[in-house]
A and B are shown apart, each in its own frame.
Chain A
């Protein structure tokens, strides 16, 4: 058994001035999907984490889209192997509601949007 290490973007606009990256270790003896990792974190480690859960169970509906290691993916069908470290961030170009939850209904066009993640935004937080 080798732990999966998940570095997860955390940001609550009502209380945080800057986002932070929390590191969680998840015991794993076989590959886990990003969504099963997030569900494990919420159930076993930190119930305050926010993300969008399964809807379709088929890798289609895209409700669970997040950014993993910089790439947009469906959380339900992206596998992480035991021993790997993974960076999980919200989808870019949409305003962040909290943590990994974005408002899919709104697309941010201006560069100066505050609560979004995009090349150049929140860089300092990522260097911590």
Chain B
């Protein structure tokens, strides 16, 4: 099959059109440079941001619910919550600019819940010393659509929807753009840029059970790794305990664990023997997840391998329970009713821990620079600031603070950079690889099948509780998929919006990210935050108060550690 690769030139290219990507594009555009924003779907309706609930944390102090709160307190909470594994140069930026970025959001038209005298209404979330989670009206969906609109109104931003970037172009040691597929047209296109900003989110959907969109395939991690960048802390995989497992029409929908607490429904999750699994007061999230996981693994699970989220046994009157769901999560409650015909106030639901957020990702500094010149990252795809655990409300705060930071610095760097150029030959090499999928194969396999196999392996072995034996099995399985299945992926000869082509390109990136994740989990022989090793259950501050870093060396991943950056709050005894 012959193919043509179009070339487009710009100053800054941003990959990803959700919270972080749109904010980066706005910041870069405000520096006066030309920006191209790429999104696999439709910017503003894509990525994990539309899935987010209402919580974005910022230390408003007197302008919020508690005058004692301050950026310094938020900094401390994030450092402690991250088990001293977040780089403090970055945590400083997040905690000290969060309020300003929320005020930016307000100026773009995002609405926040306010008190009668005009202060920010904030709710307390676990790990916050003072109530710090501002309440976005209409949730993350409002945030992402308004940000996308704001970006699109800037004359120097060109939004390209349905564009899947799958490869970072380099000239020498420098990133000079991305190669991608214009999915709508079925054409390959190179976007040459002086700076490249990765903002395409985490890799939650390399697990078979996730509450994130299926598009979260870890593209940024794999692309950055292939471009020679350092990747950090991939083993800190945050799960959410109570996501709907069955029926399939609502699989992956979050039902709030927090609503089982005494002030709300005072209900519980039950195993197949009808016994409640949680003590009261409710354990913190990562502990709760391990309790659930153990119940399921020890054979006390439901027919589909979950547990029963059952508020019908709540001691409170049914109407009160109903009101709680209608007030706290009206959309989810309605959605489960509409899509599954289940009223969760009237009948139990099968739930299980699902992949929810990734603390690790591309290694960056406080400007959002990666270890590759010209390459920046922000949002969930970047890695070393959440540490081993993420506090509620941090994910959205981070998209805005580090998004703005990375976008601005990418623009400043672009102003000093030469015109991006790339050799035609390297373009064609990558292009022909992407097009070889159309060739006839002796043992053709569907990319959907390949993706399913990757997800099954990751879901089974990179679970909330993992051990060396399982992780080694996973590594072998992934190597088999990489060598035997990936080369045999075959796709139908359709140009426009060929979902199989998209799946195949994503599968290439997924298997890479999966392998690095398993490798990182195997490398860290301790337990901390969201990484729990059955064979190394203790936290080992002597050896492991460090980042896990992986970098490509001679075509293979090489794992090593790197010290955490402590600016003003070193761990005690370190």
Please report A residues at the B interface, Cβ cutoff 8 Å. 12-14, 30-33, 35-36, 42-43, 47-63, 76-79, 97-99, 101, 103-105
Q: Most chain-A CB neighbours within 10 Å: which of B159, B254, B498?
A: B498
Assuming the A-B contacts A48-B492, A55-B51, A55-B213, are A77 and B500 also in contact, with contact meaning beta carbons closer than 8 angstroms in the complex? no
Instruction: Name the residue of chain B whose CB is nearest to the CB of A60.
Output: B141
| B141, B186, B247, B492: the one within 8 Å of A56 (CB) | B141
Chain B residues with CB under 8 Å of chain A are 41-42, 45-47, 50-51, 139, 141, 159, 161-162, 184, 186, 211, 213-215, 247-250, 252-254, 331-332, 334-335, 338-341, 446, 448, 491-492, 494-500
Q: Are A57 and B211 in contact (CB under 8 A)?
A: yes
Q: Is the CB of A61 within 8 A of B338?
A: no
A103 close to B50 (CB less than 8 A): no
**Docked complex Cα distance between A9 and B499 (Å):** 16
On chain B, the residues within 8 Å of A61 by CB distance are: 45, 50, 141
**Do A57 and B213 touch across chains, with their CB atoms under 8 A apart?**
yes
Q: By the criterion CB–CB under 8 Å, are B498 and A79 in contact?
A: no
Q: Which chain A residues lie closer than 8 Å to B339 at the CB level?
A: 33, 59, 76-79
Bound-state CA distance A76–B51 (Å) is 14
A15 CB to closest chain B CB (Å) equals 8
| Distance of A12 Cα from B46 Cα, bound (Å) | 24
Interface residues of B: mostly helix, strand, loop or mixed? Answer: loop
List of A residues within 8 angstroms of B338 by Cβ: 59, 77-79
Please name 11 further chain A to chain B contacts, defined as beta carbons within 8 Å, in addition to the given A55-B50, A57-B250, A60-B141, sorted by A numbering: A14-B496, A47-B500, A49-B499, A54-B214, A55-B47, A61-B50, A76-B249, A76-B339, A79-B339, A97-B162, A104-B161
Expressed in whole angstroms, the Cα–Cα distance for A33 and B500 within the complex equals 22
Question: Which of A14, A79, A98 touches B341 (beta carbons < 8 Å)?
Answer: A79
Please name all residues of chain B whose beta carbon is closer than 8 Å to the beta carbon of A49 when the two chains form the complex: 499
Q: How many A-B residue pairs have CB under 8 A?
A: 116
**Which residue on chain B has the smallest CB distance to residue A75?**
B339
The reply to whether A50 and B249 form a contact with Cβ atoms under 8 Å apart is no
CB atoms of B214 and A47 under 8 A apart: no
| Contact yes or no, B331 A58, CB < 8 A | yes
Query: Inside 8 A of A79's CB, which chain B residues have their CB?
Result: 249, 338-341
Bound-state Cα–Cα, A42 to B271, Å: 35
- Give complex CA distance A99, B335 in Å: 26
> Once the chains bind, are A55 and B341 in contact (CB under 8 Å)?
no
Which B residues are CB-close (under 8 A) to A56?
A: 50-51, 141, 213
Q: State how many angstroms separate the Cβ of B190 from the closest Cβ of chain A.
A: 22
What is the CA–CA distance of A21 and B313 in the complex, to the nearest angstrom? 48
Say yes or no: B211 contacts A55, CB within 8 Å: no
Give CA–CA (A98, B182) in the complex, Å. Answer: 13
Alpha-carbon gap, A89 to B500, bound state (A): 21
Q: Is the CB of A105 within 8 A of B42?
A: yes
Residues in B with CB closer than 8 Å to A78 are: 338-339
Question: Given A33-B339, A58-B332, A76-B339, A50 and B498 touching (CB < 8 A)?
Answer: yes
Give 27 CB contacts A-B under 8 Å: A14-B186, A36-B249, A47-B500, A48-B498, A49-B499, A50-B497, A52-B41, A53-B215, A54-B214, A54-B252, A55-B51, A55-B213, A57-B213, A57-B254, A59-B331, A59-B339, A61-B45, A63-B42, A78-B339, A79-B339, A79-B340, A79-B341, A97-B162, A98-B497, A101-B497, A103-B184, A105-B161
